Amino acid sequence: MNLTLHHLVREPKIKLDKNPLLLLLHGYGSNEEDLFSFASELPEEYYVVSARAPYDLMYNAYAWYAINFDADEKKFSDLDQARTSRDLIATFIDELINNYAIDSEKVTLIGFSQGCILSYAIALSYPEKVQRVVAMSGYFNDDIAKDSFKNNDFTNLKIFASHGNVDQVVPVEWARKAKPILDSLHIQNVYKEYPVGHGVAPQNFYDFRNWLEETK
């Protein structure tokens, strides 16, 4: 099966006519094995797919777009690459639905760090493709979303956002800016912080897993 993005799949243990999808998007410099490591802990009725980002940094390390860490405190990001990845993932969602028995109305993105930034951009650009987002340790960058995203219908979109309040990679202040924007767009959302750095605390994992159960 030759799809747009290299990926790993955990088939649902409970097979339905069409199963919901959890699509995992890793962070900068990581790979598809990273988030897939907790696939076995995710609810059994889902297809769990972990995608590999398209840009090769070094052996086994990939990025959704380039970041120049020598730039000012904003860490220059290659927004053209980011938008290309946004649309690659949107296409990849369609391919998954065409190739697996996935319910197109039950698609959830779970993104960490750079994968979180992309998850926000995809969901707000294409809310007809994505119903829920788990946005961990990232932030919303409206430069990566489609220009007209504010005109979209977000009635069916729900977002669980979380961040470590001592994150040394992505400042928590950046993450906190998303909620007022989501509220202004009337997007149902939850935001939580945990006393950790740039990572997923066990409590964060349990909280988003519970949220998946509550919002399905």
> If pLDDT is split at 50, 70 and 90, which confidence band does 67 have?
confident
pTM beyond 0.85, yes or no = yes
In which element (H, E) is residue 163 found?
A: strand 158-164
Domain around 142: 7-215
- 95 to each of 5, 65, 88, 100, 116, how far by Cα in Å? 10, 21, 10, 8, 21
pLDDT over threshold 70, residue 71:
no
Task: Give the pLDDT of residue 72.
Answer: 56
Is 104 within the bounds of a domain? yes
| Residue 127 backbone phi and psi in degrees, to 5 | -65, -15
**Dist. CA 111–CA 35, nearest whole Å:** 9
Question: Looking at residue 109, which CATH number applies to its domain?
Answer: 3.40.50.1820
Ramachandran angles phi, psi of 56, nearest 5°: -85, 120
Measure the CA angle with vertex 64, ends 113 and 165; round to 5°.
Answer: 10
Residue 99 covered by a domain: yes
> Is residue 209 situated within a structural domain?
yes
Residue at 2 is within a domain: no
Q: How many Cα atoms occupy the beta-carbon half-sphere of 2 within 13 Å?
A: 0
Q: What residues contact 7, with CB distance under 8 A and at least 6 apart?
A: 32, 49, 50, 51, 52, 92
Categorize the per-residue pLDDT at 74 as very low, low, confident or very high, splitting at 50, 70 and 90: low
Pairing of strands 19-25, 47-51: parallel
User: Has residue 83 been placed in a domain?
Assistant: yes
pLDDT 10s digits, 103-129: 999 999 999 999 999 999 999 999 999
Instruction: Decide if 1 is inside a domain.
Output: no
In this structure, is residue 170 part of a structural domain?
A: yes
Count of the separate structural domains present in the chain: 1
Q: At what angle do helices 114-125 and 79-99 cross, to 10 degrees?
A: 70
Residue 166 in any domain: the answer is yes
Write down the residue that tokens 């990025």 correspond to.
63
Provide mean pLDDT across the span 53-60: 93
